[in-house]
Amino acid sequence: MDVTTPANAPWLIVGLGNPGPEYAGNRHNVGFMVADLLAERVGGRFKRAGKAQAQVVEGRIGPPGPGNRRVILAKPMSFMNLSGGPVNALKDFYKVPVANIVAIHDELDIDYGVLRLKLGGGDNGHNGLKSMTKAFGSEYHRVRFGIGRPPGRMQVADFVLKDFASSERKELDYFVDRAADAVEALVIEGLERAQSTYNS
CB 77, CB 29: distance < 8 Å: no
141 is a catalytic site residue: no
DSSP 74-105: EEE-S-GGGTHHHHHHHHHHHT--GGGEEEEE
What's the pLDDT at 77?
Answer: 95
Residue 147 has pLDDT above 60, yes or no: yes
Residue 148 has pLDDT above 50, yes or no: yes
User: What gap in Å lies between CA 104 and CA 69, rounded to an integer?
Assistant: 18
* Residue range 65-123, pLDDT digits in tens: 777 899 999 999 999 999 999 999 999 999 999 999 999 999 999 999 999 999 999 99
CB 112, CB 178: distance < 8 Å: no
What's the pLDDT at 5?
Answer: 60
What's the pLDDT at 51?
Answer: 73
Marked catalytic residue, from 28, 105, 126, 141: 28
Mean pLDDT across the chain: 93
- pTM, 2 dp: 0.94
Residue 7 has pLDDT above 80, yes or no: no
What's the pLDDT at 6?
Answer: 65
* Residue range 37-52, pLDDT digits in tens: 999 999 999 998 777 7
User: What gap in Å lies between CA 127 and CA 43, rounded to an integer?
Assistant: 30
Average pLDDT over residues 140-167: 95
Nearest alpha carbon to residue 183 among 51, 27, 54, 13: 13
Residue 148: Cβ within 10 Å count: 17
H or E element: which one contains 182? helix 166-189
Local confidence band at 2 (pLDDT 50, 70, 90 cut-offs)? very low
CB 85, CB 127: distance < 8 Å: no
Local confidence band at 1 (pLDDT 50, 70, 90 cut-offs)? very low
User: What gap in Å lies between CA 103 and CA 87, rounded to an integer?
Assistant: 10
